[in-house]
Each structure stands twice: as C-alpha cells, then as structure tokens.
C-alpha cells in the first residue's frame, strides 16, 4: 500500500494478507511493573528491552514489514533527571548490544525524533546504526525517541513554509500528501495496527497524523509482561476487524470479491 493511496480510499483497503504490514506500539507500564516488585523503575525499563527483542523477532518471523516503537516521548523529559539519564543510557547500550544481530537479521534500524538533545555520542551511535543497516529489507524497525506527533507535524509545516518562501511551492496549493511527505515516517505506510500496553487508552502524542485510520488495540498488560502470546492476541483482534476507511461494509466486501 503506497502513501499515494491517501486520495483514494478504495486503494487503502488491504488485500491479500490479513496480517498488518505496519505495527506501532506504545510500550507502557515499565514503571508500574517495577514498583509492583519493589524494584527501581529502571528495572522495569530493562525488562522492557527484553520484550522489545522478542517483539522484533516475532515481527520478523511473521513477515510484518514495519515495526515502530515509542521509546521516549518529548514529554518524558519532565520525569526525574535520574530516570531520564538511565533511559537514554539503556537505549544506547541496548543499541550497541543488538546492532550486530539486527544487521545479521537483515533489519533496517532507524530513529525518528529530535535526537540532538541526547548528546553527540548518542547521535553518533544512532547515525552509525542507521548507516550500517540502511539497505536491509526484512523489517524496518523505527524507534521514536524524543518524538512527539505535534513536533513532527510542526517540523513538516516549517519545511513547507520554507519552500513557499523560496517560491518553490504555492502556499494555497499545500495538500495533505505534501505534509505527509515531510513527516518523519514519510517512507513508510501508515500503521495498520496500534498497540498500547499498560491499560491506558490514549495516544500520548505518538504518530498523530499517521494514526488517522489505524486500528487501535489497548492491552491491559504491563509492557514487561507483553510476550508473544499477548502479541498474537493483538493480531487476532486486528484480523477479526473490518477496515472501512469511510466506505460502507458492502463496498469493502465488493472490493474483496473483485
Ligand atoms: C513506558 O513505561 C516507558 C517510557 C515511557 C519510557 P513507563 O515508564 O511510562 O511506565 P508506567 O506508565 O510509569 O508504569
Ligand atoms: C508514552 O508513555 C510514551 C512512551 C511509552 C515512550 P507515557 O507513560 O509517557 O504516557 P502518559 O504520560 O501516561 O500519557
Ligand atoms: Mg507510562
């Protein structure tokens, strides 16, 4: 399904495979998981990294092409300094540990978000990992780090405004497709399935633009407990749904039979 399908809802109806092509996840509940065990919150984040590994390999096995994970939101800077520092360290060390395996498994790694704030060293490691894996094709693993959906839309608007100022585009001719092309996820299809663990039923400034027609699934499970069987439940829920994109159920049935 290409990005240009935005103007034609019939073309957005997924065909063939009933599995999602793109899964986006808010991995929530690490802190509560640790607190329930009288452990420091960072212990929950460490356990969470193990679940990330599991989910990445499950997606690879199932042939899911895009996995996008919310690791750190632009609002998470408001947390205690020590937790923020530990989260960044955990992210960078997990990347160092996993990079070889990601590459061997033909996984393309990339990060979306305003990463400069993580410091020069972290940025260098992230860029190295992206460069090493850029031609891999089995699965695109995107980590949203210091990411916010509103930030993303604002930076897309700023880019279009610059181009309008330079006389390259007409302000009145700006279309949703042009905004989309300037967003961080411009080269991926919109998520088919959104999963949030932890029990909260909100989007928390994740992929605001791209979630317009995504199927939402809220798991009453803390992220460190989200294993393969929990992922299968989410996939079962997804495959049982009819996606309509504004059409009627009958129209969808007709396109399936055509
Ligand atoms: C999600 O778990 C991970 C991050 C936000 C980095 P939390 O740390 O939000 O866990 P809870 O919601 O406090 O349990
Ligand atoms: C969302 O979780 C961000 C990540 C999982 C990285 P939060 O725990 O920060 O979300 P809120 O604050 O409960 O909405
Ligand atoms: Mg949380």
Distance 38 CA to ligand 2 centre (A): 21
Told to judge if 116 belongs to the known catalytic residues of this protein, a careful annotator would answer: no
Domain annotation covers residue 169: no
Q: Which atom of ligand 2 is nearest to the CA of 72?
A: 6
Domain annotation covers residue 152: no
Domain annotation covers residue 185: no
| Per-residue pLDDT tens digits for 50-67 | 999 999 999 999 999 999
Residue nearest ligand 2's atom 12 by CA? 204
CATH classification of the domain holding 113: 3.40.1180.10
Residue nearest ligand 2's atom 10 by CA? 204
Residue nearest ligand 2's atom 2 by CA? 28
What would the DSSP string read from start to end of the chain? Answer: --GGGGG-HHHHS--S--S-SEEEEE---HHHHHHHTT--HHHHHHHHHHHHHHHHHHHHHHT--EEEEEEEEGGGGGS-HHHHHHHHHHHHHHHHHHHHHHHHTTEEEEEES-GGGG-HHHHHHHHHHHHHHTT--SEEEEEEEEE-HHHHHHHHHHHHHHHHHTTSS-GGG--HHHHHHTSTTTTSPPPSEEEE-SS----TTSSTTTTTTPEEEE-SS-GGG--HHHHHHHHHHHHT----TTS-HHHHHHHHH-
Q: Give the ligand whose atoms come closest to the C-alpha of residue 91.
A: 1
| Per-residue pLDDT tens digits for 197-252 | 999 999 999 999 999 999 999 999 999 999 999 999 999 999 999 999 999 999 99
pLDDT at 2 over 70: no
Domain annotation covers residue 239: yes
Considering its fold, how many domains does the chain have in total?
A: 1
Domain annotation covers residue 2: no
Domain annotation covers residue 215: yes
Domain annotation covers residue 160: no
User: Does ligand 2 come within 6 angstroms of the Cβ of 200?
Assistant: yes
The residue segments making up the domain with residue 222 are: 19-147+191-244
- Give the pLDDT confidence score for residue 13 in this predicted structure: 56
Domain annotation covers residue 14: no
């Amino acid at each position: 399904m290409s990005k240009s399908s935005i103007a034609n809802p019939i073309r957005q109806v997924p065909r063939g495979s009933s599995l999602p092509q793109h899964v986006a996840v808010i991995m929530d509940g690490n802190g509560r998981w640790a607190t329930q065990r009288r452990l420091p919150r960072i212990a929950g984040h460490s356990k969470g990294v193990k679940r990330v590994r599991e989910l990445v390999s499950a997606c690879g096995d199932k042939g899911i092409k895009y996995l996008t994970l919310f690791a750190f939101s632009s609002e998470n800077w408001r947390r205690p300094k020590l937790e923020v520092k530990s989260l960044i360290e955990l992210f960078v060390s997990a990347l160092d540990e996993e990079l070889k395996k990601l590459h061997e498994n033909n996984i393309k790694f990339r990060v979306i978000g305003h990463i400069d704030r993580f410091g020069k060293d972290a940025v260098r490691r992230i860029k190295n990992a992206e460069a090493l894996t850029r031609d891999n094709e089995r699965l695109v693993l995107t980590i949203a780090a210091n990411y916010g959906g509103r930030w993303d839309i604002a930076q897309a608007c700023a880019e279009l405004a610059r181009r309008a100022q330079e006389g390259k585009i007409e302000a009145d001719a700006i279309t949703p497709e042009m905004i989309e092309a300037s967003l961080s996820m411009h080269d991926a299809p919109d998520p088919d399935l959104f999963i949030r663990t932890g029990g909260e039923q909100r989007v928390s400034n994740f992929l605001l633009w791209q979630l317009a027609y995504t199927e939402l699934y809220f798991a009453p499970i803390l992220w460190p407990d989200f294993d393969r069987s929990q992922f299968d439940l989410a996939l079962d829920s997804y495959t049982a749904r009819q996606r309509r994109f504004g059409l009627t159920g009958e129209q969808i049935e007709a396109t399936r039979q055509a």
